[in-house]
């Protein structure tokens, strides 16, 4: 994120330079707070999000600082980026992470655009954030009651832009308050209590490029109980495939060797289990895979019921009715399927079924 990014700079003149033991780059840290003192090696942890409350006076001050910065430095050129509001998510996330790590909240002008924080080992870290009014959940229930695993999104052009040089990404999610009508999203107000930053974990850039799923504009994705089409070139990477942290200070333990291990790691699917099963049915239906492969997918996904189509049940019923009318299936077969695919009827604006609507 622009100049709110990068290695540690000056703050009140109370900084001293320390040399990273692994690289010849200089990293600046608060006096008497050298992260290399008594440090431990990074140890893999399941990615369980850290919750940082941004309510109260301190949280509002950080939100206000991010909003003010973006007004002055809105990024409207270069690689594909979000709106001013979407960029504000990243500004808040980076400022909060830097603040909690004892770094200056904002980097000096002229800092490289590609990374936000230079770690003690010399590794470059970029903070990524998207969000909304809902909290971050590792799993959530879809409209069919089946679990959906959470994902993170990258703008594809940012990953493929050579000038945006970083080694790892720190993935975060910002829960924000619903703004009053006519009011901007950021910075909100001092009294709003729902602001929370979720710090989910980290992943190497090379692994995202190798394992992430690229989706062009127009590709659809599931969100909660609805589907939407992407407007930008996106790469999906699932939360379960991140490297977790127990505290923000764990970031100071990440070394180039840890990043190299992650770059070669083979993670789980970057799809929900439900979508994986849907794809399995589609591939089998088109004769691309056989019954044996489909059975393997069903076993590995371990869902307690069948995953429905991404199309509405009414559309499936319409096809079945057409097959019945063409005498391909019997009326008995058709009625049996209706118990498996409950039809939804229009109930009118007042909740009653209008005359003429078939039941």
What tens digit of pLDDT does each residue of 278-302 get? 999 999 999 999 999 999 999 999 9
- Phi, psi angle pair for 356, to nearest 5°: 90, -10
Q: What per-residue confidence (pLDDT) applies to 351?
A: 62
Average pLDDT over residues 100-120: 85
pLDDT tops 50 at residue 28: no
Q: Return the higher-pLDDT residue of 320 and 18.
A: 320
306: DSSP letter:
P
pLDDT tops 70 at residue 311: yes
Q: Return the higher-pLDDT residue of 226 and 268.
A: 268
pLDDT in tens, 119-178: 999 999 999 999 899 999 999 988 788 999 999 999 999 999 888 999 999 999 999 999
- CA–CA dist 278, 296 (Å, integer): 13
Average pLDDT over residues 202-216: 97
Q: What per-residue confidence (pLDDT) applies to 78?
A: 47
Average pLDDT over residues 30-51: 71
pLDDT in tens, 334-353: 998 888 888 888 887 666 66
First-to-last alpha carbon distance for the chain, in angstroms, is 55
Helices 331-340 and 313-325: crossing angle, nearest 10°?
A: 170
Given the structure tokens 């009014």, which residue do they identify?
Answer: 133
Q: What per-residue confidence (pLDDT) applies to 13?
A: 33
Q: Return the higher-pLDDT residue of 72 and 21.
A: 72
Q: What is the mean pLDDT of the chain?
A: 84
pLDDT band at residue 32 using 50, 70 and 90 as cut-offs = very low
Beta-carbon contacts of 184 under 8 Å, excluding residues fewer than 6 positions away, are 67, 85
Beta-carbon contacts of 36 under 8 Å, excluding residues fewer than 6 positions away, are 18, 20, 21, 120, 252
- CA–CA dist 67, 233 (Å, integer): 26
Q: What per-residue confidence (pLDDT) applies to 356?
A: 59
Asked which of 6-20, 46-60, 84-98, 308-322 is least confident by mean pLDDT, the reply is 6-20
DSSP reduced 3-state for 140:
strand
pLDDT tops 50 at residue 228: yes
The CA–CA distances, whole Å, from 13 to 104, 143, 263 equal 11, 55, 38
- CA–CA dist 131, 197 (Å, integer): 9
**241-259 b/e with 16+ CB inside 10 Å = b?**
bbbbbeebebbbbbbeebb
Residue-wise DSSP of 87-131: HHHHHHHHHHHHHHTTS-SSPPTT--SS-SEE-TTS-EEEEEEEE
Q: What predicted TM-score, i.e. pTM, was given to this entire model?
A: 0.81
The closest of 195, 181, 252 to 62, measured between CA atoms, is: 195
**Is the separation of the CB atoms in 255 and 22 below 8 Å?**
yes
Q: What per-residue confidence (pLDDT) applies to 314?
A: 92
């Amino acid at each position: 994120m622009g100049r709110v990014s990068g290695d540690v700079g000056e703050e009140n003149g109370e900084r001293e330079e320390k040399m990273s033991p692994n690289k010849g780059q200089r990293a600046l840290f608060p006096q008497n707070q050298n992260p290399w003192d008594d440090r431990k090696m990074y140890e893999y942890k399941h990615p369980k999000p850290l919750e940082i409350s941004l309510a109260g006076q301190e949280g509002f001050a950080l939100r206000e600082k991010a909003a003010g910065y973006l007004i002055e430095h809105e990024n409207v050129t270069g690689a594909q980026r979000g709106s001013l509001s979407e960029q504000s998510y990243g500004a808040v996330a980076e400022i909060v992470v830097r603040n909690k790590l004892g770094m200056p909240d904002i980097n000096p002008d002229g800092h490289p655009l590609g990374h936000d924080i230079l770690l003690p080992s010399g590794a470059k870290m970029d903070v990524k954030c998207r969000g909304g009014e809902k909290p971050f959940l590792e799993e959530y229930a879809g409209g069919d009651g089946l679990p959906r695993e959470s994902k993170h999104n990258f703008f594809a052009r940012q990953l493929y832009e050579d000038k945006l040089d970083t080694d790892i990404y720190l993935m975060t999610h910002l829960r924000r308050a619903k703004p009053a009508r006519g009011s901007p999203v950021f910075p909100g107000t001092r009294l709003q209590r729902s602001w929370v930053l979720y710090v989910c974990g980290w992943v190497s850039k090379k692994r995202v490029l190798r394992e992430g799923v690229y989706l062009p504009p127009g590709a659809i994705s599931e969100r909660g109980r609805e589907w939407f089409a992407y407007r930008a070139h996106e790469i999906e990477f699932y939360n379960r495939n991140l490297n977790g942290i127990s505290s923000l200070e764990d970031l100071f333990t990440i070394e180039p060797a840890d990043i190299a291990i992650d770059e070669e790691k083979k993670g789980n699917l970057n799809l929900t289990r439900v979508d994986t099963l849907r794809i399995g049915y589609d591939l089998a239906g088109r004769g691309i895979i056989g019954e044996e492969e489909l059975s393997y997918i069903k076993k590995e996904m371990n869902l307690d019921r069948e995953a429905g189509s991404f199309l509405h049940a009414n559309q499936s019923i319409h096809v079945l009715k057409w097959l019945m009318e063409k005498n391909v299936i019997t009326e008995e077969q058709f009625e049996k399927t209706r118990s498996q695919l409950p039809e939804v009827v229009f109930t009118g604006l007042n909740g009653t079924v209008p005359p003429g609507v078939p039941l």
